[in-house]
């Protein structure tokens, strides 16, 4: 009989978003005419930037001609895309990142999970609470944790609470950890990190020989340019951080699929015999064995995100969602809710009213306003009593949803 990876049995029921979809389906089966508006999963709704579409169309034409046809591409990504990424996203912001340190991939969710392939089982791993569930679940799958307690916390993981009481900025742990997941702008709270905050993490990581896994998938939403867009804006981060970026939330590639990881060549990890090994070399080996690269067509689309037109179109797209976020923030605050985030992020994090649990509030919003959000407790125990609203939707849907929610609070 085949044996399974029993770590999977430790996982809690369902991944958060499929669980929400299941509950919404159960509701619509009984109420087929309810005009549901989904502000739950952070999935984009607006069309792809024209520059990206045109580049992909052109790439398809090339693939239809023997002289310009391409088969397998480089596993790490085409050099013309990696060079643009290094230049526009890092070097132009003063970060010392080379194109050879860019690994193009099909998503940050995949990258943040896959990166665990190259790390051992005995690392002390810290995550925020609430947290993007992928960081936790992939560690469970990899056997890095014990079982979950009643509050849903897995043994062996170090949870760092972020709540309104600490202004959604995690306190640097007193104990030594080896791997730390940071996500800024933060999913789910919408909080953003200052340079001082990131500097404190980089100092901590360097003092403790720790590695930061920095997820900046929402970087494009930072609307104050004095805030850091990359961890590499902090001196020393090349020696203690891997950064994950995505084209999903800026260029709308959630369905197209393209992202990248920065793995600096200066990063080292310890072998049990005491010698050092380059993390870059391990990741390169992992990717060239298990991954065949992102399609040529998609990489051409991603490259166009850096053209003059592409950059303008992406700015407009991000601006559109940020305006949605402003509407949500202001309307919910006017309805009397405590509202956080949504200024440098597409997520608005609210305190549930009257001490309601996150799932009770989910049910109320679904039943009374036909609006779907994400229960804070789905992101971790410290998310209980909070609720996330995503700004990814059409203007009309966001406005209608907010009218319905405001009305729901008015009538009680």
Residues binding ligand MLT (CB under 6 A)? 41-43, 109, 187
How many residues are given for the chain?
Answer: 412
CB closer to ligand MLT out of 55 and 256: 256
Residue 307 labelled as part of a binding site: no
Residue of minimal Cβ distance to ligand MLT: 42
Shortest Cβ 380–ligand MLT spacing (Å)? 13
Q: Are 313 and 49 in contact (CB under 8 A)?
A: yes
Shortest Cβ 259–ligand MLT spacing (Å)? 10
CB closer to ligand MLT out of 257 and 326: 257
Residue 40 labelled as part of a binding site: no
CA distance 410 to 412: 5
Residue 232 labelled as part of a binding site: no
Q: What angle do CA 313, 318, 322 make, to 5 degrees?
A: 145
CB closer to ligand MLT out of 43 and 399: 43
* DSSP conformation letters of 60-125: HHHHTSTTT---S--TT--HHHHHHIIIIIIGGGT----GGGEEEES-HHHHHHHGGGGS-S---E
Measure Cα distances from 298 to 17, 225, 310, 316 in Å.
26, 29, 14, 21
CB closer to ligand MLT out of 78 and 349: 349
CB closer to ligand MLT out of 97 and 213: 213
CB closer to ligand MLT out of 244 and 280: 244
Shortest Cβ 102–ligand MLT spacing (Å)? 20
Q: Are 240 and 98 in contact (CB under 8 A)?
A: no
Residue 181 labelled as part of a binding site: no
CB closer to ligand MLT out of 110 and 282: 110
Shortest Cβ 138–ligand MLT spacing (Å)? 12
Shortest Cβ 91–ligand MLT spacing (Å)? 26
Shortest Cβ 357–ligand MLT spacing (Å)? 20
CA distance 353 to 331: 15
Q: Give the count of beta carbons closer than 10 Å to the beta carbon of residue 345.
A: 29
CB closer to ligand MLT out of 55 and 259: 259
* DSSP 3-state of 230: coil
Side-chain half-sphere exposure of 256, counting CA atoms within 13 A: 26
Shortest Cβ 63–ligand MLT spacing (Å)? 28
| E runs forming strands in 164-217 | 179-183, 211-215
Two tokens at 7?
Answer: 């770590």
Residue 139 labelled as part of a binding site: no
Residue 296 labelled as part of a binding site: no
Residue 321 labelled as part of a binding site: no
* Residues 241-253: b if buried by 16+ CB within 10 A, e if exposed: bbbbbbbbbbbbb
Shortest Cβ 349–ligand MLT spacing (Å)? 12
Strands 157-161 and 125-129: parallel
Residue 132 labelled as part of a binding site: yes
Residue 15 labelled as part of a binding site: yes
Residue 290 labelled as part of a binding site: no
CA distance 90 to 98: 9
Two tokens at 123?
Answer: 């690392």
Annotated binding-site members for pyridoxal 5'-phosphate = 72, 108-109, 132, 187, 218, 246-248, 257, 292
Annotated binding-site members for substrate = 15, 42, 109, 132, 187, 292, 388
Annotated binding-site members = 15, 42, 72, 108-109, 132, 187, 218, 246-248, 257, 292, 388
């Amino acid at each position: 009989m085949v044996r399974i990876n029993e770590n999977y049995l430790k996982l809690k029921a369902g991944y958060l978003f499929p669980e929400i979809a299941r509950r919404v389906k159960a509701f619509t089966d009984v109420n087929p005419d309810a005009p549901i508006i989904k502000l739950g999963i952070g999935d984009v709704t607006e069309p792809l930037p024209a520059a990206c579409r045109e580049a992909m169309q052109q790439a398809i034409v090339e693939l239809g001609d023997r002289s310009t046809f391409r088969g397998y591409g480089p596993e790490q990504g085409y050099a013309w895309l990696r060079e643009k990424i290094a230049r526009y996203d890092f070097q132009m912001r003063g970060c010392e990142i080379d194109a050879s340190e860019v690994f193009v991939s099909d998503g940050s969710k995949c990258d943040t999970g896959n990166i665990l392939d190259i790390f051992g089982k005995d690392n002390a791993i810290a995550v925020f609470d609430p947290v993007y569930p992928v960081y936790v679940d992939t560690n469970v799958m990899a056997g890095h944790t014990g079982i979950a307690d009643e509050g849903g916390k897995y043994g062996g993981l170090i949870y760092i609470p972020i709540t309104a009481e600490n202004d959604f900025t995690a306190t640097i742990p007193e104990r030594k950890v080896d791997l730390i997941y940071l996500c800024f702008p933060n999913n789910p709270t919408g909080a953003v990190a200052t340079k001082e905050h990131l500097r404190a993490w980089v100092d901590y990581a360097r003092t403790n020989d720790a590695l930061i896994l920095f997820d900046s998938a929402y970087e494009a939403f930072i609307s104050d340019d004095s805030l850091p867009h990359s961890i590499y804006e902090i001196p020393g981060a090349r020696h203690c951080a891997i950064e994950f970026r995505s084209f999903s939330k800026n260029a709308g590639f959630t369905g197209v699929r393209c992202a990248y990881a920065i793995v600096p060549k200066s990063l080292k990890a310890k072998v049990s015999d005491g010698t050092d090994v380059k993390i870059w070399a391990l990741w390169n080996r992992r990717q060239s064995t298990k991954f065949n690269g992102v399609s040529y067509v998609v990489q051409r689309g991603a490259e166009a995100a850096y053209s003059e037109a592409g950059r303008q179109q992406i700015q407009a797209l991000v601006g559109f969602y940020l305006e949605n976020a402003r509407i949500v923030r202001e309307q919910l605050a006017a309805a009397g809710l405590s509202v956080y985030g949504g200024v440098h992020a597409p997520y608005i994090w609210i305190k549930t009213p009257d001490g309601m649990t996150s799932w009770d509030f989910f049910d109320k919003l679904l039943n009374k306003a036909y609006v779907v959000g994400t229960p804070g407790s789905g992101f971790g125990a410290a998310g209980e009593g909070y609720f996330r609203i995503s700004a990814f939707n059409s203007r009309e849907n966001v406005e209608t949803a907010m009218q319905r929610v405001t009305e729901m609070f008015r009538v009680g």
